[in-house]
Structure 1
Amino acid sequence: MRRPVLAIAMLVIGLLCAGSPATATTFPERIPLPDGFYPEGIEVGTGHDFYVGSLLDGAVYKGDLRTGEGAVLAAGVADRFLAGLEYDDRSGLLWAVGGDEDGTKLFAFDGASGDLIHEIDIDGAFINDLVVTRDALYITDSLADQLWSVPLTNRGAPAGPPRAISLDGDFRFVDVGELPINLNGIDATANGRTLIAVHSTLGVLYRIDPVTGEATEIDLGGATVPFGDGIVLHGRTLYVVQNFLNTVAVVKLQPDLASGEVVDTITSDLFRVPATAARFGNRVYVVNARFDVAPPPFLGDPIVSVDYDVVRVPRH
């Protein structure tokens, strides 16, 4: 009678042992992306899903933060590129700014199937990042002194043509140098009434009225956030990815968003010129763009042998 009991016990132990490696790799610190992918934007979708877009051909990669597994969801297209991404859980659409041979565009992919649902022409210079609010979508134009907006229905569908919003107030436009990046990363308060954006070249933050375009510099007490790329706003904590510095600045904002303080800097040996970030639970995920070894493909010949990844760091 003991032999069956022993056999069952050994089977249970075997199953537990077989499951332990999967447990050990749950929510891995590093998630590999396809070689030569040229990632730029990252976004978290439903559940553990995440998305990364390609500067090379506009492909969309979809992965699982829990397992680290993933695959290309939307295949690349010659002459297309994607920069910033934003997922809208009302519509299940993954919005992406970028362009193709016909000019700069706003794309919307089905977050489940990868099908291209919307393709909207944007008469911008270099549209770079975006944020979705309750009633509109806002886009930074890094080589111009303007934002773009697209109205949305309460279900997240486009409700009208894009509109340029001229930036006023404290905004300073820079047009010197080989590629002077002005506004880059953008996010919005929970009610959508205030936008926050980073000026990559000057290293300053602005709070922006989305109706008037009035930009007010956020007082950081003399500090700056140079090389600011993607940003993530969570409550009054702002995460600013500083690409070529291989850091993420943590800024604590005052309730009126008029001032703030750089209270911490996130570093990691795994950072390799991170471009953008997304928050999931108590972690921040950044995508390594590796612009130091493989500049954006529109600045030179693509290097398809470069490896890329997404890196998880604690949220400070």
Structure 2
Amino acid sequence: MHRRTLLAAALAAPVGAVVGASAAQAHRPSRPPAVIGLPDGFCPQGITRGSGTKAYVSSLGDGAIHCVDLRTGGGMPLVAGSSGGQATGLAFDTSCRIWAGCGTMGGAAVYDESGTCLAMYPLGGNVHGVAATSGKVFFTDADQGKVYCVGLGRHGQLPGSEGVRTLALPRGLGDAGACNKGVAVAWNGCLIIAQAAAGRLYAFDPVTRAAKRIDTGRASVAGADGLLLRGNTLYVVRPGGDSVSKFRLSHDLSRATPVARIGDADLDCPSTIAPFGGHLYAVNARFSTPPTPNTEYCLVRLPD
């Protein structure tokens, strides 16, 4: 791993602290850290922006969630992990709650920003990607041709089990073995879904249940995991490589035109990304490295 001294400094600083800065320096505009350390052995997977400068990172290894300050690089545990636990995709809703997919445990968990668990929802399958709107939270299933939807109540209230729906996916998007992972919500309410094994992008309307494949031309999205949509710019994270693919989506969601590939020397099998100002932070999942309690992990800053 590169920049080990930066990682050590970041892990030593609490969230909200300015590492190595005087009071005068703390008020000067500065670039966010190039690398933000995560706990050794953390096995990160998902990331989502929280309130202010905070972001949350999930652990595929034990279901823990770690809080980091993207301005300073400081960090602290938010949710403790447990043996056999998993946390995959994350999303932050308009009520300042953190939604976590629970992978092969087949459910979803909801936390407030203090780390208190507010609700658990059994969904089924292998729950992976998460995307939240003001009224609904959607989850992909990496093993089955389904999307799960949790409908929020008035003023964003958390529902009981009656608020959970399973949406069967049509042919193509619902193909067996396609491995639906990343998900993002487009401007028209459609879901953009990445198929890791099939190497395809789809637009899915959760109201009509219609789906159409998004043409990416000659650009490959094989192995795609996390998605991030900013305006009409779609970022696709492919853990098998060392870069993030940037596309421009057409208004009707029929085409994704390749724009650029964003890389960094410190990228090592990124899984997901989150925005911060004019930058992106990628989770270095390091899937090609066998995890141990001492394996180093971090977030890497990228230009957008």
Pair in the same fold by TM > 0.5 = yes
Gap change, CA 1:17 and 1:306, over 3 Å in 2: closer
- 2:109 aligned counterpart, secondary structure: strand
1:19 is displaced (CA, Å) by 4.5
Q: Identify the residue that residue 182 of structure 1 maps to in structure 2.
A: 179
1:226 is displaced (CA, Å) by 1.3
For 1:131-150, list aligned pairs within 5 A: 131-150=131-150
Q: Which consecutive unaligned segments of at least 5 residues does structure 2 have?
A: 1-20
* Cα distance in 2 for residues equivalent to 1:251 and 1:163: 31
Q: TM-score, normalised by structure 2?
A: 0.87
1:114 is displaced (CA, Å) by 0.5
Gap change, CA 1:314 and 1:36, over 3 Å in 2: same
* Cα distance in 2 for residues equivalent to 1:99 and 1:293: 20
Gap change, CA 1:182 and 1:21, over 3 Å in 2: same
Equivalent pair of 2:235/2:247 in contact (CA under 8 Å): yes
- The residue identity in structure 1 corresponding to 2:266 is L
RMSD of aligned residue pairs (Cα, Å): 2.1
1:171 is displaced (CA, Å) by 2.3
> Which protein shows a greater Rg?
1
Query: For 1:108, which of 93, 107, 110 is the aligned residue?
Result: 110
1:310 is displaced (CA, Å) by 0.5
- The residue identity in structure 1 corresponding to 2:116 is D
Query: For 1:72, which of 56, 77, 102 is the aligned residue?
Result: 77
1:225 is displaced (CA, Å) by 1.0
Equivalent pair of 1:97/1:106 in contact (CA under 8 Å): yes
Query: For 1:98, which of 83, 102, 105 is the aligned residue?
Result: 102
1:25 is displaced (CA, Å) by 7.0
Could you list the runs of 4 or more consecutive aligned residues of structure 1 that deviate by over 3 angstroms after TM superposition?
16-26
- 1:173 aligns to 2:195 (yes or no): no
Query: For 2:63, which of 40, 58, 63 is the aligned residue?
Result: 58
Q: Identify the residue that residue 192 of structure 2 maps to in structure 1.
A: 196
* Cα distance in 2 for residues equivalent to 1:241 and 1:70: 24
Identity %: 34
Query: For 2:257, which of 258, 261, 274 is the aligned residue?
Result: 261
Q: Which consecutive unaligned segments of at least 5 residues does structure 1 have?
A: 1-15, 176-180, 295-301
* Cα distance in 2 for residues equivalent to 1:49 and 1:213: 35
Residues 222-254 of structure 1: CA deviation (Å, up to 9, x unaligned): 432111110001111000001111211101011
